[in-house]
Chains A and B, each alone.
Chain A
Amino acid sequence: MSQQRVTRLLMISPNSMVTPDQLVRNVQTMAPGINVKETCYGCLAESDAETMRIVMEKVRATYRNEVFSKVRGYPAGDPRRCRAQHGTRPGYAQLEAEWECLPLIQSALDEFDAGKDDYQKPVDKKPLPVKEMKEISEAFR
């Protein structure tokens, strides 16, 4: 991976009271030498890897379960992707679908942070033993 540039996508959970404008202003002050672009879902932040590591630590500390993040392949405002220049957004369908799930993930993370560690474990489906299958078949013969 290129170490020259790291672009991160920061997305605000729909349940959060933080606005993209507040997020941009805060992220901008977290470290020198960072470029931040406001978007409808949050912001794009771009800097070198070390600065980004510091910024992400601060973002996690400030907006623990309200802001979610991932690395972005394209630079911020890239004309191949930027809507302002009629770029295509093939990944946007997924972002939108995951955005709808964020309040659920946020509440789950809040509960784990509050120490409520119990959750309903899904039942493992196992193949039916031949003996049981035979008994069922014979019972309904």
Chain B
Amino acid sequence: MSYDILVVGSGIGGMESAIKLGDMGYKVLVVEKDSSVGGKMILLSKVFPTLDCASCISTPKMAATVNHPNIDVMTYSEVEQVQRVQNGQFKVRVRRKPTFINQSACTGCRQCEEVCNVAVPDQFNFDLVARRAAYIPFPQAVPKKAVIEKRGSSPCSFTCPAGIKAHGYVALARSGKFDEAFNLVLDSTPLVGSLGRACYAPCEGQCTRGGLEGPVEIRRLKSYIAERHYNAHPQPVTLTTAEPKGRQVAVVGSGPAGLTCAFQLARQGYGVKIFEAASRPGGMLGLAIPAYRLPREVLDRDIQNVTALGVKIATNTRVNNIDSLQEQGFDAVFLATGTPGNARLGVAGENLNGVIGALEFLRRVNLGEDVNLQGQKVVVIGGGNVAMDAARVAARLGAAQVALHYRRSREDMPAHGWEVEAAGVEGVEFHYFSAPVKFNGQDGQLNTVELIRLEPGAPDAGGRPKPVPVQGSEHQVAADLVITAVGLVPQAAGLADGLKLNPDGTVLVNTDTLQTAVPHVFAGGDVVTGPSMIVNAVAQGKKAAFYIDRYLRGEQLAGVNYDDRLPVVDQKEVMGRQQSYSNLPAVGTKNQNGTNMTGQTSAGSVTEPALTEAEARYSAGRCLDCGVCSECSQCITTCPANAVDMAMRERVEEVEAAAVIMSTGFKLFPAELKTQYGYGTLKNVITGMHMDRLLAPTRPYNSVLRPGDGKVPDNIAFVLCTGSRDCTVDNQLCSRVCCMYSVKHNQLIMGALPLADVTVYYMDIRAFSKGYDEFYQQAEAMGANFVRGRIAGIDENQDGNLVLQYEDIANGGQTVTAEHDLVVLSVGMLPNTDAYGIFSGESLQTDDFSFVKEMDEDIDPGRTSIDGVFVAGTASGARDIPDSILHAGAAAAQAAAYVERARVKR
């Protein structure tokens, strides 16, 4: 697309330039970074000196801009690059930010906003109140379409291997929408309760709150959500499934991978049967994980989520030959048999009675066999989570002594730190740099273990020091039972003709699609990855279901974008936007009252105690909403227009333009820089922009009130020149508008709060333009009190009132104080330098104060250092609205003349 003029920014200046140029017949493109045109003016209450509604002046221009036949508008877009090309035109790259809502389908009904569970400070109300992640910026927005603010994936959701929307269910729990939270997890996996109990929760490791008081207890929240749901619904709620597809899938193995895959495929209408070799379903969940970590009824209820969809589970059914499944009518197979084998130590005596693999040991316990260790001495070999489970189970079964030997240091131990700690509390002894040499026994029955001490030696392939034996350190210890936990191995050999295995015995698959060498056989979980975590197996099951579905529908498997999560947000950026961050300790450490709120897997307790609802909501309330949008899906299901599109991604459009107008506006002076005024600390010190919002017809509250305590103020002070005419904040310039908007506020306040006193502290009242001094006189006549004197400092009284200190020039020059209940800092304008870098190959010159430089203001207003680039409004210096409009009109004339000259040249 080729335009005559590109207008960057759609504030009052940009709109004026665009409309005038459009009226003249030029093709104009307006690019606006926000989702509505209108800039800052539309946010104001009324405007001086005529006291027109800002809305009344802005809305016709906003509508005219977007409806003009000669003007195209790109909202929620940013100009990335402007580069001159050979014909003298500019090539313009525009970044169209994803709105995640189909803008042509959106009707502006705001239902997405109402169901959205993330609240962030509302920049359009200057943070006085919150808005939602899905939002329409203000009632008069043009176009009136919602967008969803999504800065990227939240670290928790991004980290979850299974793609469970952790942030989403935390946000739902925060809003008390526990069933919705359950369903959101269920969307990924049926194992909501099991993961809630036994997941190692990599999400929590990435939680931004973790860098503060400790991560949000995401796993325990999920546990709470599941238990609450299961208590309310002992039987699964019927899920809607797709129409039966008439195709059958066999799932071999009923561990987390198999169950998840079966669940996903059944939902999509496939007939699914699970084959399980053991006597009960669940795989490692039921066999290896101790019941104190994962109560059986939780697992059973999770499995019901699968069987409720019609999935059959054949237990005690070992599949020895996958090929036979095809003959039984299965169109595809998912192989998820896990790692049922125990790796061997390769040490003499390993076959003695009394030496047992950890998995076998745990299986016996879990299947309810009578395993009595009362008074026995137990040695555990290994340092992983399975070793830890075995040791802790042994301790709970009454062993007199449980000694765990590990060949490296504690730091090297792969087991989770908290589990090591809990084991220690439960009485497990730890021996580091220690390894068995030989198991001794009599009559085939173990009685001692010969151990040797090790020391760190030369680095091994992994870079860690390889433990080497300390010569002569061999020693014997008595043992009734040795549990070896040095690794688990798959047993997949010979399952099918053509199935290929890796050297370590795992099944060889295409890692993108999980398809094995046999096309209709897919494999996933530990049988592919080797021993891993539950949630990884869940991830594989989910992914396998995705590709099996595609396979069965005859679609291509390669090159499909399975995981379309956005890049993770930068946690520094997340912390940067926490303006008022409150200290919220984790449940389980200390609550706000300093009392213990039940610990995480507290040592010695039989099972982990459930969170209470209050704790759950408190915990969820600690979430910092890193990605902003939590991906809770509520808007997707609610939108009556079906307009939400989470797959939307940023795209870049290229257009050409003959000339450019920069109408990028200004930034407000950040009042916190003037530290002696206490802005940000003193609650009842606000800025002029806040006062405009408080007075606007679209105001956030019903009346003018002070934010500290909601009191309606009756004695309001204005502090002029906050951040202007002030070398201490590096801004010598006068901002031109603050005197007048303060005078405007005076008049409006006297209308809204007739009994309130208004005092203005000033150096000079700069009422210089047409009708301004008259307006100032009018405010004075209405009773506004003007005091010449610059405020030196502001303190707060206990009641939230503020004490202002100043030199009372008019009355003898003493330093005096005055008390007010609300202070308005009349902040001024600073340059908005955000877009200066868009020009490639040429540089946009600025003046000494970083405003866009006008090269010949006297004769050629609006002309910048780049030929064909013009500036309109406050981008080139502080201006009030009438002056901005005139300046924008001038910039339009300049740009039009430039375009005409360029035409003649061509």
A and B held together in a complex: no
State the B residues within 8 Å of A (CB): none
